[in-house]
């Protein structure tokens, strides 16, 4: 284990549709720049070919902006970290190729990072507004591509104890939003409307899965579709007249599914330190219910700072930092991996 007490890491995140570059000094974030790609909203979802092209356009100016914001010279960097996977292959290739070239040019170590591990270790970023969970803890990792309950024993030992067998929870939000005519990504919009609606207005049945800790969301999406089609047939204005109540009911159903599984996971493992991670953990209802669980079930919950929940490069940087201390470096032969597991 290295004991350097001054390490600068530049991290690149390009797994999906946002180009992120962060610079960390040890476990502190000096800058966390994200260039969002607006282009996809008109297509109702991320178009992989357009995403990789936009990454190519963004990567050089975003790296330059990050160095400027952090106020450091690239010669001060100790390592380059990048997202190896999982994600969209074309997008990952842009980030990994750039990271390799930069590490080669500066003659510093290259560190490939698992995106899902990064969502979890975002909790270890040294920031006054968040608390680091102690080991072992459970993490509900919820994003547009993943839904998992993970048992974390140390920074590098993570075991998936439950996961979705079909759609991810972010997809459940986004597809429901699409049915309601809301633009992509619909999750934040469902959240916004839900705050003004009645969560008990409509009841959607919860799915059953074989393994008690696994999730399934494709049935819910179909149930919502049939329900909306039926209602719109009777009243063409049904959606606009009841949008807030529909969103609140969908959000309530999804939150209840997540909480039921978490309760089971706590029962099975005996672990009561619960963290959330991933883009969907920005959801206000999920945050609220989890906070309430502290008193209700005697859990300690860890909710990351908003900017570290969505895809961002700071979370890649913190994994890079721990791997740097552990001297877990990659050579230039490393390749991106679209379906990377822990
Ligand atoms: O982690 P993330 O930024 O990207 C992936 O790795 O997938 O997660 C994006 C997902 C999208 O599905 C988006 O709709 C969802 O997170 N999301 C939300 C909210 N904010 C983002 N879903 C529900 N409520 C929110 N407030
Ligand atoms: Zn993500």
User: CA 237, CA 219: separation in Å to the nearest integer?
Assistant: 25
**pLDDT of 246:** 98
pLDDT tens-digit profile of 126-163?
A: 999 999 999 999 999 999 988 999 999 999 999 999 99
Mean residue pLDDT of the chain comes to 94
The pTM for the full model equals: 0.93
User: Which of 143, 288, 305, 339 maximizes ligand 1 atoms within 8 Å of its Cβ, making it the mutation to test the pocket?
Assistant: 143
User: CA 268, CA 41: separation in Å to the nearest integer?
Assistant: 41
The answer, yes or no, to whether any atom of ligand 1 lies below 6 A from the CB of 20, is no
Task: Say how many Å lie between the CA of residue 232 and the centre of ligand 2.
Answer: 34
User: CA 127, CA 116: separation in Å to the nearest integer?
Assistant: 20
* Beta strand ranges found along 53-185 (DSSP E): 79-85, 110-114, 137-142, 147-154, 157-163
Q: Is 70 exceeded by the pLDDT of residue 247?
A: yes
Beta bridge partners of 85: 114
Task: Say how many Å lie between the CA of residue 309 and the centre of ligand 2.
Answer: 8
* Residue pointed to by tokens 């859990």: 299
User: CA 316, CA 142: separation in Å to the nearest integer?
Assistant: 17
Question: Which is it for the CA torsion 163, 167, 168, 169, positive or negative?
Answer: negative
The answer, yes or no, to whether any atom of ligand 1 lies below 6 A from the CB of 278, is yes
Which residue has better confidence, 2 or 278? 278
pLDDT tens-digit profile of 74-132?
A: 999 999 999 999 999 999 999 999 999 999 999 999 999 999 999 999 999 999 999 99
Q: Is 80 exceeded by the pLDDT of residue 39?
A: no
User: Which of 32, 51, 167, 173 maximizes ligand 1 atoms within 8 Å of its Cβ, making it the mutation to test the pocket?
Assistant: 173
The answer, yes or no, to whether any atom of ligand 1 lies below 6 A from the CB of 45, is no
Task: Say how many Å lie between the CA of residue 86 and the centre of ligand 2.
Answer: 9
């Amino acid at each position: 284990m290295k004991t350097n007490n001054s390490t600068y890491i530049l991290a690149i995140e390009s797994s999906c549709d946002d180009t992120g570059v962060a610079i960390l000094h040890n476990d502190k974030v000096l800058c966390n720049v994200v260039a969002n790609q607006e282009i996809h909203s008109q297509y109702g979802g991320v178009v992989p070919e357009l995403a990789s092209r936009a990454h190519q356009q963004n990567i050089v100016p975003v790296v330059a902006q990050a160095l400027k914001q952090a106020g450091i010279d690239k010669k001060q960097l100790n390592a380059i970290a990048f997202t190896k996977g999982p994600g969209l292959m074309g997008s990952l290739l842009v980030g990994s190729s750039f990271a390799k070239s930069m590490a080669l040019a500066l003659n510093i170590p290259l560190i490939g990072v698992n995106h899902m591990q990064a969502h979890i270790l975002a909790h270890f970023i040294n920031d006054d507004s968040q608390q680091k969970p102690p080991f072992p803890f459970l993490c509900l990792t919820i994003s547009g591509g993943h839904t998992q309950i993970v048992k974390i024993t140390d920074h590098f030992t993570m075991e998936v104890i439950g996961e979705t067998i079909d759609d991810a929870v972010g997809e459940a939000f986004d597809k429901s939003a699409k049915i309601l005519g809301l633009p992509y990504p619909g999750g934040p919009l469902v959240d916004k409307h839900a705050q003004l609606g009645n969560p008990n207005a409509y009841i959607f049945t919860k799915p059953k899965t074989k393994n008690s800790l696994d999730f399934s969301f494709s049935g819910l999406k179909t149930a919502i579709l049939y329900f909306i089609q039926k209602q719109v047939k009777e009243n063409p204005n049904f959606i606009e007249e009841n949008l807030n109540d529909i969103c609140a009911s969908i959000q309530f159903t999804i939150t209840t599914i997540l909480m039921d599984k978490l309760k089971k996971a706590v029962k099975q493992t005996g672990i009561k330190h619960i963290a959330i991670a991933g883009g969907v953990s920005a959801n206000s209802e999920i945050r609220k219910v989890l906070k309430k669980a502290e008193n209700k079930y005697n859990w300690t919950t860890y909710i990351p700072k908003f900017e570290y929940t969505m895809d961002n490069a700071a979370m890649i940087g913190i994994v890079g930092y721990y791997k740097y201390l552990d001297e877990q470096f990659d050579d230039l032969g490393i390749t991106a991996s679209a379906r990377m597991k822990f």
